[in-house]
Copies of this chain bind each other. A is one copy, B any other.
Amino acid sequence: VRSGCFADFVGRHVDLTTTERAALLRLEDRVRPLRRGAVLLRANDRTTDLFMLRRGVMMSYVLLDDGSRQILRFHFAGDLLGMSALALRASPETLSAMTEAEVCAVDRMQLNQLAVDHPRLATALMALDQLDRLALTDRLTALGRSSARSRVAALLVDIRQRMRAVDDTITDRFTLGLTQEEVGDATGLTAVHVNRMLRQLEDEGLIARENGQVTVVDETSLMRAANFVDHGRNVDLNWLPAGR
């Protein structure tokens, strides 16, 4: 029996009891594989499901009337997807797979049940969901108040950070796995300008690139360019009551 990646994610921050772990594991019931490029949920689709990303990389985005796209968030294993639709009849955003992926569908009824059986898990979920919000406000701040160079740097740093959380063999070199078009849609830039910024970061000696792989050469400067603040170290859920 494999351990649940969502349980692992929560367990990284909370000491789970055996029954709690079992309850979370039970959520990872309806597994569903996704091909690269597959759309799991389209904006305005009605749904009553949340999803837990078990394997692979996904993204959520919205499309505007004029055809442009804003990528809101990249998702990695352990992430809870589709929370944004929780209070709505229909999803406000599209979820699609950027690599082969595996998700588990969780019905809202299961969430209701979880809240009854394990109140502190419901609270933990609410709290951990704030980390997702935090990523959004970080990006919002980057879009509103920093240069193209800085935004691209921030994206690189962010993605490396998230990949490391999943796979700790990654250090200074990683596979970005995004086209420059996608980097642009995440950072609010055109693909052309993303290209120039990447080149600039390379020329400045902050990063190196070879066939899709990015290497962080000057970490300090890159972090500074990115305006990086590591919230990860500040996570604290010790105020949660003891588990059942």
| A145 and B112 form a contact (CB under 8 A) | no
User: How many angstroms between the C-alpha atoms of A227 and B65 in the bound complex?
Assistant: 8
| B116 and A119 form a contact (CB under 8 A) | yes
**Complex: chain B residue closest to A187, CB-CB:** B144
A239: which B residues are within 8 A, CB to CB?
Answer: 48, 108-109, 112
A187: which B residues are within 8 A, CB to CB?
Answer: 144
**Number of residues of chain A lying within 8 A (CB) of chain B:** 61
User: How many angstroms between the C-alpha atoms of A90 and B86 in the bound complex?
Assistant: 27
A22 at the interface (CB under 8 A from B): no
User: How many angstroms between the C-alpha atoms of A241 and B239 in the bound complex?
Assistant: 27
Main secondary structure of the interface of A (DSSP, over half): helix
A131: which B residues are within 8 A, CB to CB?
Answer: 87
**Complex: chain B residue closest to A64, CB-CB:** B145
- Which of B68, B84, B92, B237 lies in contact with A145, CB distance below 8 A? B68
Stretch at the interface among A120-128, A173-181, A196-204: A120-128
A236 at the interface (CB under 8 A from B): yes
CB-contacts of A99-139 with B (<8 A): 108-109, 111-112, 115-116, 119-120, 122-123, 125-134, 136-137, 139
User: How many angstroms between the C-alpha atoms of A72 and B135 in the bound complex?
Assistant: 12
| A111 and B123 form a contact (CB under 8 A) | yes
